[in-house]
Structure 1
Amino acid sequence: MSMRIKTWLLASLLSILSSLPSFLLLPFLTGSAQAQTSIVLNTPFFAPITSPGRDGVLDLFYAELFKRVGLKVDIQPMSAERSLLNVNNGIDDGDVSRVLGIDQAYPNLVRVPEPVMFYQMVVFTRKPSFVVKGAASLEAFDVGILTGWKILERNIVNTRSLLKLETGAQLFSMLDKGRIDIAVIEKLEGLHFIQSLGLKNIRIMEPAFVEGDWFLYLHKKHEALVPRLTEEIRKMKQDGTHKRIFDTVLKRYQPVAGA
């Protein structure tokens, strides 16, 4: 075969491949180039959601999920705001979990449409019991939240004061010392901090201040992975893997939850 014909055939093949939708190329990518790569996900969360020991619910869940699509995953801690900025700018590959619609503010993010977990942002306090019913029920209090948690920044308004802190340990230290009346944080993380810091007489107010689904978000350069990841998340729910991972990790916190 002449060099001219070989060149023509190669050009034709490249032209055909470039015209295909990205999801059709995914099997070729996951079987070769991507098989040797790791996806780097940022996490603003603490145990039991993610932890330095890589034994949080999402640490274990994502290790299994990405293994199923032929990839390794590295989950690195980062502040909530910095995490979104880094992923939006393509510095890192994704964020472990965010609320629906966060991609409207960070347009380079793509959402994997199957939820990875259900969250509850709840009120922790030493104050007498009261019914949590929207932002108005918090107006008389000094409130603390974590910096960069957009859903709380949007929904907590007109409080006596609003203090934004970098870590959950700082948040619960302020609550324990009476510097704030209320800490609003994801329920599982709050239970972890009560347990790990040995705090007493802190109660959870009902119902949750806000609750809903969390989703995996990736930088748009990984959009081709979305269909496979969506399919595998659904399979992990159907075959019981998702529930088994969550139950195994969360049972460590049941004594606190029932206290």
Structure 2
Amino acid sequence: MIVLALLLVISSLTSPGYAQETLVFNSQVTNRILGPQCVLNADNVLKEALESLGYSVKFIQYPPLRSLMEVDSGHIDGESTLFEYNAKRFPNIVRVKEAVLEDMPIEAFMIKPPPFNPTPGPAVFGYVRGLFDPSPLVGHDHVVETDSGESLFALLAKGRIDVAVFCRDAGLSLGQHLKIEGFTVVAHIAQVDVYVALNKRHADLAKSLSQVLLEMKHNGRYKTILSNENDSYPDRTGHP
């Protein structure tokens, strides 16, 4: 009986529900990158997928490029919303194969009519570091980098850039939030998938997580979470 009791105690101590490993992920909910609800739902997809694999998740908040640097260095475990164009820059990042968000529209935003007289020469484009980089399309000499959506659209409102390249829903939300008159979408740039990024020490987890995300898409759970507009925010602690 004593031996049996000890075995039951040991089993309970080693079960996932008792001592889950906690992974630290960056989230873009408050950075106005994809729109709060969009990122929130993606975070909840990730949270549920990881919990099914026996992990718990702690979310923190860094700007996009800083987040990728932290994941690449191994200071944090992952980024919940990695754009497909960023992974090659960071050799220690493993991208989960299955996308956590699909067909994210990237748009060009302008103010019409322009609030200031346009400067001579080619248009100047702005974007947020760590997101969709328009440089390959327009040339590096005509691109300005910023750290956040707010600073990107502040430059647009001040006439410092002519075009802001950003995610559609978040861009429209920011334009309304900042009360930019004449703010409009002028061109569709691309449709991109958004992925989960992990430090390379979690390469095995990347394979398992990809399979779970695919299963969630097949059984309908993924669609249910993404369509929920009243979901609760996973725990977030801000900068570590």
Q: TM-score range by the shorter chain?
A: 0.7 to 0.9
Q: Is the 8 A contact 1:49 1:59 kept in 2?
A: no
1:146 correspondence with 2:146: no
Count of equivalent residues: 208
Which of 234, 238, 248 aligns to 2:214? It is 234
Amino acid at match of 2:167: E
Q: Is the 8 A contact 2:25 2:57 kept in 1?
A: yes
Distance 1:58 1:33, change over 3 A: same
Identity of aligned residues (%): 26
Amino acid at match of 1:95: E
Partner of 2:83: 99
Partner SS state of residue 178, structure 1: coil
1:79 correspondence with 2:63: yes
Q: Greater share of helix residues, 1 or 2?
A: 1
Higher relative contact order (CA 8 A, sep 6+): 2
Which of 225, 231, 235 aligns to 2:205? It is 225
Shift of residue 114 of structure 1? 0.7
1:122 correspondence with 2:107: yes
Q: Which has the larger radius of gyration?
A: 1
1:186 correspondence with 2:167: yes
Shift of residue 87 of structure 1? 1.0
CA distance in 2, matches of 1:101, 1:196: 28
Q: Say what the alpha-carbon RMSD is for the aligned residues.
A: 3.1
Structure 1 residues 77-115: Cα deviation after superposition (integer angstroms, max 9, x where no partner): 212222122111111101112234644332211121111
Shift of residue 153 of structure 1? 4.3
Structure 1 residues 66-86: Cα deviation after superposition (integer angstroms, max 9, x where no partner): 222222212222122221221
Structure 1 residues 176-204: Cα deviation after superposition (integer angstroms, max 9, x where no partner): 23332211111122122123223342111
Distance 1:101 1:190, change over 3 A: closer
Partner of 1:213: 193
Partner of 1:63: 47
Partner SS state of residue 88, structure 1: helix
Superposed counterparts of 1:189-204, under 5 Å? 189-204=170-185
Distance 1:219 1:177, change over 3 A: same
Amino acid at match of 2:139: V
Q: Is the 8 A contact 2:126 2:146 kept in 1?
A: yes
Partner of 1:19: none
CA distance in 1, matches of 2:27, 2:138: 23
CA distance in 2, matches of 1:218, 1:145: 24
Amino acid at match of 1:241: R
Partner SS state of residue 212, structure 1: strand
Which of 154, 158, 177 aligns to 1:177? It is 158
CA distance in 2, matches of 1:104, 1:216: 14
Distance 1:231 1:34, change over 3 A: farther
Structure 1 residues 188-242: Cα deviation after superposition (integer angstroms, max 9, x where no partner): 2212212322334211123x21222121111111122123211211122122222
Q: Is the 8 A contact 2:22 2:58 kept in 1?
A: yes
1:90 correspondence with 2:100: no
Amino acid at match of 1:193: L
Partner SS state of residue 216, structure 1: strand
Partner SS state of residue 228, structure 2: helix
Partner SS state of residue 245, structure 1: helix
Distance 1:80 1:195, change over 3 A: same
Partner of 2:223: 243
